[in-house]
Amino acid sequence: MAEFARGFRLTLPDGTELDGAQFPNGMVVTCDREAGLRTAAISLGNLLDGADDVSVQWAPTTEEV
């Protein structure tokens, strides 16, 4: 079965929420719903390096039947 991107939401300390996706190779992108594409990084760790009080909420995983 092919791997797909996994969605997540970042909540920044000021309450801003960014939608994001992590690809099977570990690369991540985030997007502000109003401003458009925001950031790309080689990993979630790199994206969050030095960031304090950022919460990550992962999208639920589903299984096909």
Residue 1 included in any domain: no
- pLDDT, residue 51, reads 87
Task: Tell whether pTM > 0.85.
Answer: no
DSSP the chain: -----EEEEEE-TTS-EEEEEE-TTS-EEEEETTTEEEEEES-HHHHHTT--S-EEEEPPP----
- pLDDT, residue 63, reads 65
Residue 38 included in any domain: yes
pLDDT in tens, 35-60: 877 889 999 999 999 888 999 999 98
For the chain, the domain total comes to 1
Residue 64 included in any domain: no
CA within 13 Å, CB half, 2:
3
Residue 65 included in any domain: no
pLDDT in tens, 27-39: 999 998 888 778 8
- pLDDT, residue 50, reads 87
- pLDDT, residue 62, reads 72
